Amino acid sequence: MCLAIPGRITDRWVEPDGAIVAEIDFAGEARTAKLNFLPDLQVGDYVIVHAGFALTRVPADQVTQVMSAMQDAGVVGADGAIAHDARIGL
């Protein structure tokens, strides 16, 4: 089972092959993903990523609710960092 953690886009660029790529911060862990399915995403937007592609934009108010629920479940700590035993599949 996968756990979808919303990530915040911190940088975006276009590769020479036309791929739209972003650096995304997932609770303190930076990863890259392609934005080709959602090309209008900008720095500051929150997304759900699967298999290296941003698939869903998440409204900022929902991110707060999701992260609070994940803290309650012990998936992320009070500082927002992913719990060590939950670092699978990110």
Handedness of CA 7, 9, 11, 15 (dihedral sign): positive
Instruction: Tell me which residue of 77, 62, 65 sits closest to 27, measured CA to CA.
Output: 77
**pLDDT score, position 84:** 54
- CA atoms of 88 and 74, how far apart (whole Å): 14
**pLDDT score, position 61:** 84
**pLDDT score, position 90:** 46
Q: What is the mean pLDDT of each run of 10 residues along the chain (90 residues)?
A: 77 97 90 95 94 92 74 64 52
pTM (2 d.p.): 0.75
Alpha-helix runs per DSSP H in 2-53: none
**pLDDT score, position 69:** 67
